[in-house]
């Protein structure tokens, strides 16, 4: 992918391919954080109804389990050797 994708296009691509990505974002306390994860992991889901906001990026982080990142806090996303700064 050589052209810049919008956040919805980027999320859709990563959900379709299931590839690993890193995401840098600003936490609510103002600090920046970097996570590495992927969409589509269902191994540790216990069932029931999700109470997560569908507008957020809800994915499995390789270190800390499932994470939810607000779209307006995303700084950059890297995958397959490309870096998309927002």
Domain of residue 15, CATH code: 2.30.30.100
Structure tokens at 14: 């990563």
Share of the chain above pLDDT 90, in %: 60
Q: Which pLDDT value is given to residue 1?
A: 44
Q: Which residues have a Cβ under 8 Å from the Cβ of 78 and sit 6 or more positions away?
A: 21, 22, 23, 84
Over residues 65-80, the pLDDT tens digits come to 889 999 999 999 999 9
3-state class of 2 per DSSP? coil
pTM: 0.83
User: Using alpha carbons only, what angle is made at residue 42 by residues 40 and 45, rounded to the nearest 5 degrees?
Assistant: 140
| Structural domain containing residue 53 | 7-85
Query: How many structural domains compose the chain?
Result: 1
1 DSSP 8-state letter? -
């Amino acid at each position: 992918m050589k052209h810049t994708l919008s956040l919805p296009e980027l999320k859709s691509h990563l959900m379709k391919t299931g590839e690993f990505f890193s995401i840098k974002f600003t936490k609510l306390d103002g600090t920046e954080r970097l996570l590495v994860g992927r969409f589509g992991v269902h191994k540790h889901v216990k069932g029931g109804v999700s109470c997560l906001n569908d507008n957020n990026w809800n994915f499995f982080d390789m270190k800390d389990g499932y994470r939810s990142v607000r779209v307006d806090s995303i700084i950059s996303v890297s995958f397959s050797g490309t870096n998309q700064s927002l």
